[in-house]
A and B are shown apart, each in its own frame.
Chain A
């Protein structure tokens, strides 16, 4: 079993819809949670970064962490065609540099 599980999709939604992405994990020691966005033929770029449980909002993006369920989510409101990309979750323990990545979910927002 992988340490971080992420449904690869693909996910296709109409413009303006809410996109919901999630990851589950098995290591209860994970404390830092990240979402990266990767456009086609580009490297991943950090989108959201959260510590421990709770919500974090940044514009149209909301990240949620539920440590009791070992489940993290990313919501994209009012989705735009420019949000079409692969979204990767990543996480780490507090005293280690090493990131554990999900496989990524490919999202297409249709105009």
Chain B
């Protein structure tokens, strides 16, 4: 079984809808991250969490919110989706103090 899983893998939605992307990990890592990937722009950090009670904004947090329900679960919400949020979304985890981040398989989100 994969160490970092994301659901759904693909989602098509309409402008204005609320969307939640979920991430679960079995690696036992404290730190979890949400990124989006766009062609030509690479990976950009949306939010990160160092533990259940510690959530921080990344470089592109506007229009997004997150919830860390447990050490193993980190959800990303788009309160009112817009077309320029169409992208690949990745969850990642890392141990405390180490830079290696382990990525999930991604969610392809399309906002019409």
Contact = CB atoms under 8 A, between A and B. Distances in A.
Contacts of B105: 41-43
Contacts of B106: 41-43
Contacts, number: 50
Contact of A102 (B42, B45, B90, B94): B42
Nearest to A32: B99
Interface in B85-112: 90, 92, 94, 99-106
A102 B92 CA distance: 17
B60 interface: no
Interface residues of B, number: 21
Contacts of B68: none
A101 B45 CA distance: 10
Contact of B31 (A41, A46, A88, A97): A97
Nearest to B40: A103
B46 interface: no
Contacts of A90: 43
A42 B105 CA distance: 5
B43 A88 contact: yes
B41 interface: yes
A46 B93 CA distance: 12
B42 A88 contact: yes
Contacts of B99: 32, 34, 49, 92, 97, 99
A88 to B, nearest CB: 7
Given A97-B31, A97-B94, A44 B42 contact: no
Given A43-B103, A46-B100, A102-B42, 5 more contacts: A43-B104, A44-B43, A92-B99, A99-B99, A103-B42
28 contacts: A8-B39, A34-B99, A34-B100, A42-B105, A42-B106, A43-B92, A43-B103, A43-B104, A43-B105, A43-B106, A44-B43, A44-B103, A45-B102, A46-B100, A46-B101, A88-B42, A92-B99, A97-B31, A97-B99, A99-B43, A99-B45, A99-B99, A99-B101, A101-B42, A101-B43, A101-B44, A103-B39, A103-B41
